[in-house]
Amino acid sequence: MRQKVSQIGNSDLNAELDCSLHAGTPLTEAHSMNATPVRDRLRRLVPSKIKRFLRQFLPQGLIHAKDYVGTDRTSGQLQFELLKREGLGPGSKVLEIGCGCLHAGIPLIQYLEKGNYVGVDPNEWLRQEAMRDRRVRQLVTDKQARFLSVDDFDASELGIKFDLVLSHSVLSHCAHGQLEQFLRNASKVITPGGRILASIRLAQGNACGSSGTPDQEDSMHEKWQYPDVSWFRLSTITKTADTLGLMVVHIPKYTEFYTRTRPHEFHDWVVFFWKR
């Protein structure tokens, strides 16, 4: 079911995003592809009992949103860094499919020029929880970020061609047939030199903790699997991309980089782009 496009303003917003538990911290942080984030290293020094104690002071809606998406601001920063590896610049136009509670969206919106970020997610309540924070509301308003509440991955109604599409933890839960739908709709809104950076679960597993499937075959699910997981053979992904005129490259080093900081997010990462 397709729904409305929204450009969020102050009057629409009634949620919060401060996943660090520290309301005074900046919205983005410096981060190196070759180093563990400072905040993450500091978090490891905080005993788990203290973390659980502090968690009780978070709004219940935000806790539910964070638990639902299974990521945090550190994860969002890692995705931001991967996009920079794929050529992200302030002038890039970026579409995020599965923007959730804006863990990647916040650093992207802050970094990009005005009007260059669009987020897609059918679960509008997740970004509403992100919007409780006054700083996030102001950032979204100032940067004219836009959002689509659709469940078919299609942002073509905006008439925008994007340089980069980001999608984390979407294909890893989709039905088998939704892989083709995702690629068809994402590819029709990218520029001739555009790239789609997506995480997925490969059936053969990986060296960073993913077991794959017992038979290393596609899981062939008929429905969306969240919170369960879908699996695809790399050959299936390649064949599906090929039918749409796309090339795909599997990048294991992105998984290695990601899991150094987020060891339980051992998704495989692939990049799609038009055949030359």
Provide the pLDDT for residue 70: 54
Q: By mean pLDDT, which of 50-64, 117-131, 139-153, 233-247 is the weakest? A: 50-64
CA angle 165, 9, 156 (to 5 degrees): 30
Name the token pair of 17: 């995003």
Tens-place pLDDT, residues 184-238: 999 999 999 999 999 999 999 999 999 999 999 999 999 999 889 999 999 999 9
Helix (H, G, I), strand (E, B) or coil at 191: strand
Torsion 227-216-235-81 (CA) sign: positive
Tens-place pLDDT, residues 163-194: 999 999 999 999 999 999 999 999 999 999 99
Whose structure tokens read 């929880």? 129
Please tell me the distance from the alpha carbon of residue 23 to that of residue 132, in angstroms, as a whole number.
12
Please tell me the distance from the alpha carbon of residue 223 to that of residue 230, in angstroms, as a whole number.
10
Tens-place pLDDT, residues 38-53: 444 445 455 555 545 5
Provide the pLDDT for residue 37: 46
> Domain ranges in the chain?
5-274
CATH homologous superfamily, domain 5-274:
Vaccinia Virus protein VP39 (3.40.50.150)
CB 198 within 8 A of CB 270: yes
**Total-model pTM:** 0.79
Q: List beta partners, residue 249.
A: 271
Which stretches of 105-262 are DSSP H helices?
105-111, 124-130, 134-142, 178-187, 234-243, 252-261
